[in-house]
């Protein structure tokens, strides 16, 4: 399973999908206020009921606001590209409660102004989660320095260190 950080006071969770879940897991494991990240596959209601790579972020909203998590998510995957792999890598924010959908859509509308191209990221209702196999959990920690990590994950972590330094838990970004 994913790393559990010392602060266990998380009162909220959100599902995020957009790119490879190995990358997304590494990004969110590196943020202060994130208590735990579950890596795997999420599905929503029809027509988005196929399993798509994603994570569930358990976080303390007093330490890191939901809006910030979503902004980091949009900045660390191709949130404006409707590429041919969107079935496997659905760009989405998954609402854990149906009542959260309007709020999440509002956050995306506000953040849209910060992007030159239209966001393809959608708000979807969370319908299920299945974790990745244990051998893929904490992929970056287990495979740091490997070709996949160097090419795809490390640039995202560099972006975090550069643009979100105040949010980075530097110890969490160190591979074991």
- pLDDT tens-digit series, residues 79-97: 999 877 777 889 999 999 8
Residues 9 and 35 sit within 8 Å (Cβ to Cβ): yes
CA distance 118 to 10: 32
Judge if the upstream peptide bond of residue 60 is cis by omega within 30 degrees of 0. Answer: no
Within 13 Å of residue 169, how many CA atoms lie on the same side as its CB?
Answer: 21
Q: Which domains does the chain have, with CATH numbers?
A: 12-167 (3.30.1060.10)
Q: Which two tokens stand for residue 73?
A: 């998510």
Neighbours of 46 (CB within 10 A): 8
Give the model confidence (pLDDT) of 56-81 as tens digits. Answer: 999 999 999 999 999 999 999 999 99
Full-model pTM: 0.89
């Amino acid at each position: 399973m994913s790393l559990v950080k010392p602060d266990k006071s998380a009162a909220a969770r959100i599902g995020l999908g957009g790119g490879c879940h190995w990358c997304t897991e590494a990004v969110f494991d590196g943020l202060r206020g994130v208590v735990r990240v579950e890596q795997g596959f999420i599905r929503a209601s029809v027509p988005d009921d196929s399993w798509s790579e994603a994570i569930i972020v358990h976080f303390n909203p007093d330490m890191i606001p939901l809006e910030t998590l979503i902004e980091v998510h949009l900045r660390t995957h191709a949130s404006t590209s409707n590429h041919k792999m969107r079935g496997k890598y659905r760009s989405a924010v998954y609402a854990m409660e149906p009542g959260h959908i309007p709020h999440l859509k509002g956050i995306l509308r506000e953040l849209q102004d910060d992007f030159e191209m239209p966001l393809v990221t959608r708000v979807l209702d969370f319908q299920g989660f299945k974790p990745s196999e244990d051998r893929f959990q904490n992929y970056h920690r287990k495979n740091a320095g490997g070709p996949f990590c160097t090419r795809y994950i490390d640039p995202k972590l560099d972006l975090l260190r550069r643009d979100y330094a105040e949010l980075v838990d530097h110890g969490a970004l160190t591979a074991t």
